[in-house]
Structures are given as C-alpha cells and as structure tokens.
C-alpha cells in the first residue's frame, strides 16, 4: 500500500473473506450532517411478567398450548413456523426461467428467560450459559433428523429489527436445504482449507489478535472483533479460538466462555448509546447430514443497525441495494469505541 493512501481517510473497498463480496468504505463522509429519519426510542419500562405475552411462564400461546412455569430458558415449536415438516415433495422448472422447489423444516422459539423485562446483557453469565446449553441440545436433537441439512440459531432484538415480541427470545430454524449465505461461506472456507490445510478463520483470528486493531473483547476460548469487512456500523463477530465446526463440539468451559463473551458484547452495545441496543445475531456453522466439513469454523455474527445515536440508524438503500454495501465510519473506529466501553451495564451504574 502506498504512503499516500490511508484507510482511515480515503475511500476504498474491503473484501469479505467469508463470502467473497465487497464493501465500500467512505471514512471522509463521517462529517456529513444528518437531517433524515429519527427513530422513536423503544419503551424500556416493561413489567417482569406480562399476562398478555405468549412467552411468559404459564401464559396461553396462539395454538392453545400453555407455557410451563419455567425458571430458566424454554423452547417450543413455533406456532407460526416459516417452514413446515410435512411439506409435500415437489418442484417446478419451466425452461429454467420459472424454478421452484419444496422446502421442509422445523422452526423453534427459545425464550431466554422467564422475566419479560430483561435482555441478554441483563442476564447473569450462568443464565446465558443455560441458553447456550439449550442451543447445543436443540442443535444435537434436530441434527438427528437425516433430512435436515442446516440449523440456523439466531436472535432478532428490538422493534427496529422486526421483533414482534419484546420478551427476550431467539429462534432456531432447521431446513432440508443449505441456505445461500452458508453455501457462500462453505465454498470460501473449503477453498482456503484445500490450499492451507487450516481453517480460514483460524488464520484470520491469529492475524487480528496480533494486530489488535479491531478486537473488542477476548477470553480463553473466544474473541469478539469488528471484522475488517464489516458492513453495519457496529457489526461484530465472535470466533471460537479452537477450530470446531459447530456448537455440537463445545465443552462446558467453552459454553460458559461463550456466555461471557455474549454478555460482554451485548452490554457494550447497550452502553454505547445507553439504550437497549437492537441487532440481528446468529451462528454460522457447518451443514449437518452432509458429510465431513473440516473447513468449517464456528462463528457468530451480530448485525446492529444503529449509526450515530439511539435514534439514528444505518439504511441499506440505493447504492447498497443496487451495487454493494457501503459504510462511513471505519471498522477500526467502531472497534475502538466498543472496546473502550465498560462491561458493567449502564443501568446498574445509575443511581
């Protein structure tokens, strides 16, 4: 790189090594004034129990079932599943122009806590570990269905991310085909592994930890960083330090360390603008019932939309929809802001 080119001030493109896609970075635009949409702040005064919530203990759900009086985390089959287990096998191919194929699946909902008014950063590490335990248990159970090829564990947090119920919860979708993002990541990791005989994310993480320019948090088993190719303003990725292909292989120590990393990161998110920070987050891991995948390295993406404050978000429109993603603040700037934030939640420090 030339002495006159500067990643911190000059527009440039960065490669997402997991997908092969590019993001345009325009750091010179950070001084651009904002006169656009300002979001309303989400209500932050929910009760511990809501008699109308279909996720609270003891309440009725849409299908008529009644939730048990659960004390930790709780999982059930989604009453409004996007995928159905009994979908008929069929397909359509009209001259290669009108193409469709059946898709089977099992969709589940996981309530993180019986308390309606909490979110992940407000749970204890032991409570989050119980969630991780349940993630692993459900992953193992669902993968026993030989027709299932991929299991997506994810969370949408906040109204701004389309979350329809504020009770702390996530979802687990398992399906009969491997989805697009996983196909792309599989191909990129497989190509790297074929040449280097090590996982791409192992090499990437080693380099990131050495440079320490985008690392937000780390413990013995996981590192949290803003990826070099981040698209969303405060996007992060959690990468396991041990090369494992899925949550199936996490030890008890690793599950607790993952809970610690999730709590630290989500607390920093909340502390950034002193709000319940919205995001979509999810694990990426190897397909199941699809042979060996030694190239695959477990990781977890966090995609938060907030840009300048609790009420100003990043919009993916125009150039982003028609060309490729674009961001203004650099990943290094975002990482430094997150790294400097406390891991004690702002609510506990206020009088």
The catalytic site residues sit at: 169
Q: How far is CA 200 from CA 142, 205, 207, 345, in A?
A: 27, 9, 11, 34
Cα separation, 6 vs 109, in Å, equals: 46
Helix (H) or strand (E) holding 187: helix 180-196
* Contact predicate 331/228, CB 8 Å: yes
Cα separation, 167 vs 154, in Å, equals: 15
* Contact predicate 174/150, CB 8 Å: yes
Cα separation, 270 vs 279, in Å, equals: 11
- Please provide the size of the chain in residues: 351
Give the pair of three-digit tokens for residue 54.
């279909």
Q: What is the signed CA dihedral for 258, 259, 260, 263, rounded to 10 degrees? A: 120
DSSP letter at 118? -
Cα separation, 112 vs 167, in Å, equals: 8
Strand, coil or helix: what is 140? Answer: helix
């Amino acid at each position: 790189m030339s002495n006159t080119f500067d990643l911190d001030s000059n527009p440039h493109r960065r490669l997402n090594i997991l997908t092969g896609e590019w993001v345009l970075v325009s750091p010179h635009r950070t001084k651009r004034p904002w006169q656009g949409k300002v979001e309303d702040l989400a209500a932050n005064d929910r009760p511990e129990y809501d008699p109308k919530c279909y996720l609270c203990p003891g309440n009725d759900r849409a299908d008529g079932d009644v939730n048990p009086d659960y004390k930790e985390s709780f999982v059930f089959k989604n009453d409004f599943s996007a995928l159905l287990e009994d979908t008929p096998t069929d397909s359509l191919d009209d001259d290669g122009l009108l193409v469709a194929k059946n898709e089977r699946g099992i969709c589940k909902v996981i309530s993180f806590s019986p308390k309606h008014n909490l979110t992940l950063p407000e749970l204890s590490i032991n409570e989050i570990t119980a969630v991780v335990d349940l993630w692993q248990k459900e992953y193992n159970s669902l993968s026993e269905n030989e027709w299932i090829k991929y299991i997506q564990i994810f969370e949408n947090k906040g109204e701004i991310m389309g979350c329809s119920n504020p009770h702390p919860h996530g979802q687990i979708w398992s399906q009969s085909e491997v989805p697009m993002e996983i196909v792309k990541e599989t191909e990129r990791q497989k190509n790297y592994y074929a040449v280097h005989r090590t996982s791409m994310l192992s090499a990437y993480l080693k380099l990131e930890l050495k440079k320490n320019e985008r690392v937000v948090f780390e413990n013995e088993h996981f590192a949290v960083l803003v990826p070099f190719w981040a698209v969303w303003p405060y996007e992060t990725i959690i990468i396991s330090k041990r090369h494992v292909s899925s949550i199936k292989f996490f030890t008890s120590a690793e599950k607790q360390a993952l809970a610690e990393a999730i709590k630290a990161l989500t607390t920093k998110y909340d502390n950034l603008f002193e709000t319940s920070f919205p995001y979509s987050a999810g694990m990426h891991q190897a397909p199941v019932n699809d042979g060996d995948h030694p190239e695959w390295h477990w990781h977890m993406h966090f995609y938060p939309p907030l840009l300048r404050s609790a009420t100003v978000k990043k919009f993916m429109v125009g150039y982003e929809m028609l060309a490729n993603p674009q961001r203004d603040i650099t990943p290094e700037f975002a990482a430094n802001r997150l790294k400097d934030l406390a891991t004690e939640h702002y609510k506990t420090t206020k009088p």
